[in-house]
Structures are given as structure tokens and as C-alpha cells.
Amino acid sequence: MKYMLLVCFDESVELSQEEGADMESSGMAWATEMAGRGIRLDGSRLSPVSDATTVRVRGGEVLLGDGPFAETKEQIAGFDVIECADLDEAIEVASKHPVARFGAVELRPFWLD
């Protein structure tokens, strides 16, 4: 089963330099472990929502918005594509993601045909 991990947190929460460095290194360690287990297929951090552009087409007209599609406190800050045996394994993988400790990790299964 393929899942998208949407890694979310509140961008307004500022991490100390030490916390930031720790997050960086534990994030790398997580990615390395999951790649080694053949679980993590792809993934990346994303630029903050202040860099986002939202595109809508209404009545043939392209409407642009500066910012994310939804104004929520927690925003998608990165993603990972993982391949797991089932949801239990995906939960184990997600719960080891460092951002899960202060933000949230949403597990979205890929669409099944």
C-alpha cells in the first residue's frame, strides 16, 4: 500500500536554533532509516506557505491567490511517499517522524483503482 505522509505544523511556532538543528538531523535519520527499509520512496520539505500560489479556474478565468488553499493554523511543510504492508506499519513509520512530536502527520492512502 502506498501512502502520502503530509507533514504539517504551525509555521508561527519558532524553534530555537538547537531545536531546529535537532529536527534537521532527526529528520535526516528518519529518512535514511525508512529508505533503507525500502519504505520511503520520495519526499521533500516545502517552502513556507508565504511562498505558495493557489490557482483556481472559474468560468474559464484563471484566479490566483497569494498563499495556501486553506487558512489553517497547521500547514503542510513537507511530504513523503511511503510503501507499507498496511496501515499499522504506516502508523509506526509516521509516529517515528520527528515532526509528529509537535506537529501532525496525516497519512493519506493513494487512490485505489
Partner 1 sequence: MVATLIRMTGDWDLAEECAQDAFALALERWPRDGVPRRPGAWLTTVSRNRALDRLRRTAAEAVKLKEAAVLAPPADPDGAGGDGSGIPDDRLRLIFTCCHPALRLDARVALTLRSLAGLSTAEIGRAFLVPEATMAKRLVRAKHKIRNAGIPYRVPPAHLLPERTASVLAVLYLLFNEGYAASAGTDLVRQNLCAEAIRLALVLTRLMPGDPEVLGLAGLMLLHDARRATRVDQAGDLVTLEDQDRSRWDRREVAEGVSLLQAAQRGTALRGERPGAYQIQAAIAACHATAAEAAATDWAQIAQLYQRLRELVPSAVVELNRAVAVAMADGPAAGLEIVAALEASGALPGYHLLPATRADLLRRLGRAAEAAASYRQALELAATDAERRYLSERLTASVRDAQPS
Q: Which residues bind to partner 1, rule: CB under 8 A?
A: 1, 3, 84-88, 90-91, 107, 109, 112
Report, in Å, the least distance between residue 109 CB and partner 1.
5
Report, in Å, the least distance between residue 94 CB and partner 1.
11
Report, in Å, the least distance between residue 83 CB and partner 1.
11
Compare residues 10 and 106 and give the one whose CB is closer to partner 1. Answer: 106
Compare residues 64 and 85 and give the one whose CB is closer to partner 1. Answer: 85
Compare residues 100 and 107 and give the one whose CB is closer to partner 1. Answer: 107
What are residue 104's DSSP bridge partners? 8
Q: What share of the chain is helix, strand, coil (3-state, %, to 5)?
A: 30, 40, 30
What are residue 58's DSSP bridge partners? 61
Half-sphere exposure of 10 (CA within 13 A, CB side): 7
Compare residues 52 and 96 and give the one whose CB is closer to partner 1. Answer: 96
CA distance linking residue 83 with residue 18, whole number of Å: 32
The answer to whether 43 and 32 are in contact (CB under 8 A) is no
